[in-house]
Amino acid sequence: MTVTLDGLHVLVARALTVRYRRSSLGFAWSLLQPLMAMAILTAVFAQVFVSIERYPIYVIVGVFVWGFFSLTLVQAMDSLLGAAPILRRVAVAPALFPLAVVAANLVHLLLSLALLAAVGAAFGLVTLSLVPAALLALLPLGLFTAALALVLSAVCVFFHDVRYFAEGILLIGFYATPVMYPPSIVPERWTALLTLNPMVWLLAPLRDALWAGVCPDLSRLFTTTLAAALAAAAAALVFQRLSRRFYLYL
């Protein structure tokens, strides 16, 4: 049971078609929610965090990245249960479904960030020469999200309520990650927690490139990518083990 490119292709096409077709404005409509989040957060916090230059850009990068991460995991947790009618009857690789969720959301994130880069560059707020670095920084983010998506989707086959626990943890994660605030306001005794939060590591290089206008530390980016790749490999093994018993539950 192998994950084929054709399989990913049709499932990603389906996810994006359904997502953008639901509204007449398509992709533009899907940006409304993050843009509103940006507007609200800017209105509320731009005065609080005056130290952050170009606060709207700072916050929208965070909102896009966090939105990608949490929406992917929530959708992934439904992906296998939603595909149950197919998985019951067709010998198709179950990993296709969570992985397609990751890929579709990654495409959406890419489009969102590309639009941000284009608009930002037009106003002189984003340095276009750093866009390749931002693309590089998407790699560990995608790998790490895929790792969690695989494990969580598989566990949800056995325990449906894991979804609710995970959603709670994601809510905590939103506040534990510097999406709307600068890492510098975190008190000294809590900074260890920031170091332990993978999303801090994954978000930082994207902010470097798209907001701060500096090239991310490439050796650190490499280490992060390696760690994310190891997590993804371990997750693939766990998924493989768990998927052998899916037929009893789906």
Contacting positions for other proteins (CB under 8 A): 1-2, 4, 6-7, 9-11, 13-14, 17-18, 21-22, 85-93, 158-162, 165, 244, 247-248
Closer residue to other proteins in complex, CB, 87/138: 87
Q: How far is the CB of 2 from other proteins (least distance, A)?
A: 7
Q: How far is the CB of 229 from other proteins (least distance, A)?
A: 24
The b-or-e profile of 204-240 (16+ CB within 10 A means b, else e) is bbbbbbbbbbebbeeeebeebbeebbebbeebbeebe
d(CA 133, CA 216): 7
| Residue 125 Cα distances to 11, 93, 100, 117, angstroms | 36, 44, 33, 9
Closer residue to other proteins in complex, CB, 98/140: 98
Closer residue to other proteins in complex, CB, 21/189: 21
Closer residue to other proteins in complex, CB, 81/186: 81
d(CA 198, CA 93): 28
Q: How far is the CB of 247 from other proteins (least distance, A)?
A: 5
d(CA 150, CA 94): 10
Q: How far is the CB of 68 from other proteins (least distance, A)?
A: 22
Secondary structure class of 30 (helix, strand, coil): helix
